[in-house]
Amino acid sequence: MGVSYYLLQTGQPTKLRQELSGSRERFEDTIIHYNRVVSGKDEFHFGIKDYDKLRLKDIEYIGIYVGSDTAIMVQNYLAN
């Protein structure tokens, strides 16, 4: 049910962020899903020692994984 995201930055590896399924919230007919920006997996997979310094404003594009041949990418208007 949740959606995974790809965080894209120039010169950096593509970072996958899966939904935090234990953090879903329901408000009547609305369900809110949460995905992290910072993940310790970046150090494990990519060797990024200062992974905890990543902020949403550092991400240039957010790719939405939809499980098809289509790529959906949104430019981050918060990016520097």
SS (H, E, C) 3-42: CCEEEECCCCCCEEECECHHHCEEECCEEECCECCCCCHH
Q: What is the pTM of this model?
A: 0.78
Q: What is the pLDDT of residue 23?
A: 82
- Average pLDDT of each block of 10 consecutive residues along the chain (80 residues)? 84 91 86 88 94 94 86 88
Rounded Cα–Cα distance for residues 72 and 66 (Å): 8
Spell out the residues 6+ positions from residue 69 whose beta carbon is closer than 8 angstroms to its own: none
